[in-house]
Structure 1
């Protein structure tokens, strides 16, 4: 039953016709006020925050029937506009508060509610406010948001002006290596940036809505699929099953390694005969509305023969486990690592040896924007799919055959994205959209709710690492052995092959081992499929080696920082993969950390109490700056009639700052033309009009896109250059018949080499990022709860392109490291479907004190001396926290997350006079040396 009432919305009285059961967020969005975003739909993320009669509320849980007539509602649109910013919106711009930006409107509205009542808040009061109102952010680490509120408050108190707050472009117009705000931030802080759900809500009439029928079991044979009832329900146009798919229905999982025993085609878009993980899709309902589609999806009946589900890697590789994908062993890939001399004799004779087994959990990405997209026939006789994605060119390659379309008939466009962190390297949602559009021969759209986002998206693969290290009498490392297993879940997802290589390369990263022997393995299970996640492969590996570094230092009787200093990379040393680095920042980074570390140790000793123990932990982290060996990228540049330049790129932006990266690089590259920043136009992420710049992965984008941008700019400027050194105008170029558009290319061919799959030795990345992390924690010995008090990072990325973007990536990644260390986990796909259930870190879980310091060692091969940055912050920040817990309590955590229960259990053992022994090795199917010998006797042909 519909009702009507008058509400004052953004200072204007509006007559509203509403359904009492719909939410205030839905009603506002239906009026076009899509600055009010919707994420979790359970009041746990706060991105839907509005002011109702002056009070901050979460509009997604406020039913219209509970809203009183004549109430005053303020949304982000009523706070400020792109031409008339509120101080909070400007402060969000200049402090880098809008990364992906999906949470920015909610935070700004919430902050407005605070400053309306308290114009002089302390930082603690700001943090308490955001915690109280459940304002969640996955990108920024929260510190820039508190900084922004404090700056806006100064404006409101008339202590500074808006002009003084705003970023000022230097007189020389150079924005490279500055804190210039990102171009897209203005739309994000004012709520006018349309994300996927906003775009879908504004589509023309006739676009059909999709809903998915998911399996509610983790492993089963499908006996029957009954769509009869669903097909007759209101608004339903069709119920699509595997029988309707026009193509092979098989996703190309991109397995290229000859060591992989799977062909990578095990995943179906719509499952026909078997379920391999909870959430597999058995049918797509197509209807006139989302509500009708969802109701009908619930009515699809599936009969199963339920099978034993292997919900972890160890059970999946047990001798009695059946093959999840018949014909392919569950342990489907094993590789060796061989560097230097045999390690067994060294381990037997070394004066110092430490070993242990370590486990890193299935970390969820916890993006705040659930997956959303649309697909439709296009004018070129193919189909277009729009979504957030971080590797557009992979979509046609992985799902073209599955949906029955040639690759060239698939156009992929990236919508503004509310976070990814690796989750959108996979095109499964895009495949479902295209499959439905092809079947229906018309436009369709899809919106997952947060439950679906949780159980249907890929996760960080769990890692079991058995590692052993040996050092000589002086504390110098002599050898390392490792035997590890990644549980990659149900499907390949294009990331299984490189994951083993990452495990090999990052275990021990930062420490020089002249001799290494190891075996890396990967298996399937019935849990959520493994996919890319920031710092891909390194958090699992470094959890082992950086924990053991502390254990070795203690055994020797050496300070953990000093132990790392004497064993870190210097000229003449090589990585685990046998290659030498182009620069060696670690000694300097450790030296810079030393005085802060010593002060932190004294502080911890002084401030510890009998029940609140404080500790300090250190870890080294590093990551690469290219996708793999022989990486390539393309950029197009074009001179426009008005003398401006257009920069075309496939530099995917899911919040990390591709826009400011592209603008800064292009502006620097075109410096001889004297262009202002606003004279460079960015065209991004549409496969029909932008070149292949490659995936947003491996901290490669700035490095590779930058090199391609410089090449393209040089080609265009060379064409424009006259004999006297001046430049032709657009009209002169046209009059002389000179091309106006040029393609810049970049390649690491010639200075990178693939790893030999028989030894894992090679040089696949021309440069790397480096960091030293320090955590300061407080452990409550009565509850076992750990609180991170401060995080410090000294890092080197080469010359920094944009300081706001780099700072933001560090703050955000460190916050994710806190979550990885202490709370985040996706364990039960039936229950772990909310932010809280998965351990999402809110503002008071993350320290306000996050100190960043950079050295900027120029990279010889990098654009303007730059590298990349995005991965480093999550390589080992979590291990510094684990090491700090040990420093505080003598409780060593071997299996993440370090929940209060685990810490408390260790404390009880120590209190009773017991001894905490190193975690025993995980049984992975054979003795490492036996498996290594088997692999050596059966080398693969490359």
Structure 2
């Protein structure tokens, strides 16, 4: 195909080792309770998963240990891996006393994992009209010294390079490489920032070669009925055409504004990127939640939905409120639990944008069982006293498993049955004297299915976009001394994040396998904002940044004609 295709482009890209840079460092404590059970409180976002991972190392059976996930603020994915749980647990066992462990910030930065870099070679073939014919990839994942989750991360490259587009022929090779660099751990959008930066910048290169507008080539190739994604499955919804049509007037206005406002010193540019991420852990992912009727006629949702800033509290309350509408229960009458493996069911980890889909669906089922059981012949519902009098259960169990199919060795399957989709528009200014890039505005067209809580999802999208700006321009972790602080790691300053961020929701595409049509949200905003910024930099000043971050030094080198 590549030998015969009229339009072929090929390039190499590198997305860097990104530090998570949470405000709070890693911290936790452990003690032996009155029943002789080792209780470990930490920032774990996979309580049941981590219990099974660390129990053998501590020489304990699973019922001799319990993990508790306290309200913790952000982790952005690093706590998908156990970090200090085993250490503080061993200290408590050795001393017989309560113990705590709090890393200082240097320890936090050096003892916890980072986003693993991808070295990517990628090639597109297209016909005379710009329709994609084929994609070929060859990429290496530098996962550091440990294999933990490295195979799954490498699979993400096969799932997300070229995602968003109908590509009939795909061939590729991904390799996980162990190195003596910092160890790799999950990071928000896990694998898609590395994948989509490569395919989205190459898409602009293809458009330029053909003489097409970047918007036009995306509109021509985006998912439509009959398309398949890189995993060989047909997308569950087709929102891209509508989102691209909605962003086009903003894109055209932005191009005119950039042309009008550019000077010899300050060059303005505009860039687009497609965004996509799956909701879940590959294949038949599952969750469990309970709904319990209390003596005061409130309802408690019992689940292990770990909250690391993404809104587990409102996710549980909002989903249960929707499910219990027939009972007329107001949100203030709905309670929820924090994860404790000795008291809560296994709801799975808070990663992969899975909880709203998986645990939300388990909550929906548990509440539905409650409604069926407590409904009276006149259509009203029993109170607690009436339920006890009628010998009705007070606890209702919801279990949910999505009909996913794990990918085979060729990356083909149905790894996720619910995805999130988006389109980013970045507007930037490049100072040609200093090389400094400023992001003037970011726009995101977001399809996350039906929105549970608008304030929570707004916060997720704003925050992810801010992280994407840091990934694009400043964040890095190559030098263990230089980068082991917030400032050294490239944490963006407030002035680096524009106040002008526009989010537009598309809720006309409810998800069959999400509760009340909802998808997830957490990973979408960090999947490809940096790619839109990279394309905007090129539009502004002709410098294509192949090796992130796009520091001033690289921009100046690019303006001198060097490859950066």
TM-score range (shorter-chain normalised) is over 0.9
CA contact (8 A) 2:327 2:380 kept: no
Cα distance between partner residues in 1 of 2:212 and 2:442? 23
Q: Look up the match of 1:13.
A: none
Q: How far is 1:498 from its partner?
A: 1.0
Alignment of structure 1 residues 599-610 onto 2, 5 Å: 599-610=253-264
CA contact (8 A) 2:483 2:490 kept: no
1:740-788 residue CA offsets vs partner (Å, 9 max, x unmatched): 101111111xx3211111x211111111100100110000011111011
1:743 counterpart = 2:397 = yes
Which range is displaced more, 578-587 or 857-866?
Answer: 857-866
Cα distance between partner residues in 1 of 2:226 and 2:272? 25
Cα distance between partner residues in 1 of 2:381 and 2:519? 31
1:510 alignment partner, one of 164, 167, 176: 164
Q: How far is 1:726 from its partner?
A: 2.5
1:150-198 residue CA offsets vs partner (Å, 9 max, x unmatched): xxxxxxxxxxxxxxxxxxxxxxxxxxxxxxxxxxxxxxxxxxxxxxxxx
1:486 counterpart = 2:141 = yes
Q: Look up the match of 2:521.
A: 869
1:429 alignment partner, one of 84, 94, 99: 84
Q: How far is 1:718 from its partner?
A: 1.4
1:765 counterpart = 2:406 = no
Q: Look up the match of 1:778.
A: 429
Q: How far is 1:372 from its partner?
A: 0.9
Q: Look up the match of 1:626.
A: 280
Q: Look up the match of 2:25.
A: 370
Q: How far is 1:862 from its partner?
A: 1.5
Q: How far is 1:712 from its partner?
A: 0.3
1:560 counterpart = 2:211 = no
Q: How far is 1:729 from its partner?
A: 2.1
2:330 alignment partner, one of 673, 676, 688: 676
Q: How far is 1:603 from its partner?
A: 0.1
Q: Look up the match of 1:646.
A: 300
Cα distance between partner residues in 2 of 1:583 and 1:833? 42
Cα distance between partner residues in 2 of 1:405 and 1:843? 46
Cα distance between partner residues in 1 of 2:178 and 2:159? 22
Which range is displaced more, 545-554 or 900-909?
Answer: 900-909
CA contact (8 A) 2:49 2:348 kept: no
Q: Look up the match of 2:62.
A: 407
Cα distance between partner residues in 2 of 1:518 and 1:396? 36
1:51-105 residue CA offsets vs partner (Å, 9 max, x unmatched): xxxxxxxxxxxxxxxxxxxxxxxxxxxxxxxxxxxxxxxxxxxxxxxxxxxxxxx
1:664 counterpart = 2:318 = yes
1:711 alignment partner, one of 356, 361, 365: 365
2:108 alignment partner, one of 446, 450, 453: 453
Cα distance between partner residues in 1 of 2:338 and 2:319? 14
2:560 alignment partner, one of 908, 917, 923: 908
1:464-518 residue CA offsets vs partner (Å, 9 max, x unmatched): 011011000111000000011111112133x212111111111001111100111
Cα distance between partner residues in 2 of 1:850 and 1:722? 49
2:532 alignment partner, one of 880, 887, 909: 880
Q: Look up the match of 1:595.
A: 249
1:851-896 residue CA offsets vs partner (Å, 9 max, x unmatched): 1101111112221111111101010000100100000111111000
Q: Look up the match of 1:813.
A: 464
Cα distance between partner residues in 1 of 2:121 and 2:26? 36
3-state DSSP of counterpart to 1:539 = helix
Cα distance between partner residues in 1 of 2:113 and 2:177? 15
Cα distance between partner residues in 2 of 1:364 and 1:563? 34
Cα distance between partner residues in 2 of 1:624 and 1:821? 22
Cα distance between partner residues in 1 of 2:325 and 2:151? 41
3-state DSSP of counterpart to 1:746 = strand
Cα distance between partner residues in 2 of 1:435 and 1:428? 13
Aligned residue pairs total: 563
1:388 counterpart = 2:43 = yes
1:845 alignment partner, one of 475, 481, 496: 496
Give the TM-score taking structure 2 as reference length. Answer: 0.98
Q: Look up the match of 2:15.
A: 360
1:753 alignment partner, one of 405, 412, 422: 405
Q: How far is 1:722 from its partner?
A: 2.4
1:790 counterpart = 2:441 = yes
1:895 alignment partner, one of 547, 551, 554: 547
3-state DSSP of counterpart to 2:490 = coil
Cα distance between partner residues in 2 of 1:698 and 1:648? 21
1:708-733 residue CA offsets vs partner (Å, 9 max, x unmatched): 11110111121112233322221222
3-state DSSP of counterpart to 1:572 = coil
Q: How far is 1:387 from its partner?
A: 1.0
Cα distance between partner residues in 1 of 2:233 and 2:415? 9
Cα distance between partner residues in 1 of 2:265 and 2:390? 81
Q: How far is 1:410 from its partner?
A: 1.1
3-state DSSP of counterpart to 1:367 = coil
Structure with more contact order per residue of length (Cα contacts < 8 Å, sep ≥ 6): 2
1:448-471 residue CA offsets vs partner (Å, 9 max, x unmatched): 111111111100001101101100
Q: Look up the match of 1:829.
A: 480
1:546-590 residue CA offsets vs partner (Å, 9 max, x unmatched): 000000000000000110000011000100110001101011110
Q: How far is 1:669 from its partner?
A: 0.7
Cα distance between partner residues in 1 of 2:337 and 2:121? 47
1:701 counterpart = 2:352 = no
1:4-48 residue CA offsets vs partner (Å, 9 max, x unmatched): xxxxxxxxxxxxxxxxxxxxxxxxxxxxxxxxxxxxxxxxxxxxx
Alignment of structure 1 residues 190-339 onto 2, 5 Å: none
Cα distance between partner residues in 2 of 1:726 and 1:905? 72
Cα distance between partner residues in 2 of 1:687 and 1:584? 39
Cα distance between partner residues in 1 of 2:239 and 2:34? 53
1:439 alignment partner, one of 83, 94, 103: 94
Cα distance between partner residues in 2 of 1:719 and 1:492? 48
CA contact (8 A) 2:301 2:335 kept: yes
Cα distance between partner residues in 2 of 1:834 and 1:843? 17
3-state DSSP of counterpart to 1:763 = coil
Cα distance between partner residues in 1 of 2:371 and 2:45? 30
Q: How far is 1:597 from its partner?
A: 0.1
2:505 alignment partner, one of 837, 854, 864: 854
Cα distance between partner residues in 2 of 1:810 and 1:583? 20
3-state DSSP of counterpart to 1:662 = helix
Q: How far is 1:418 from its partner?
A: 2.6
Cα distance between partner residues in 1 of 2:438 and 2:384? 60
Q: How far is 1:380 from its partner?
A: 2.5
Aligned-residue CA RMSD (Å): 1.1
Cα distance between partner residues in 1 of 2:379 and 2:129? 61
1:379-420 residue CA offsets vs partner (Å, 9 max, x unmatched): 222200001111101122111111111112111111221310
Q: How far is 1:735 from its partner?
A: 2.2
Give the TM-score taking structure 1 as reference length. Answer: 0.59
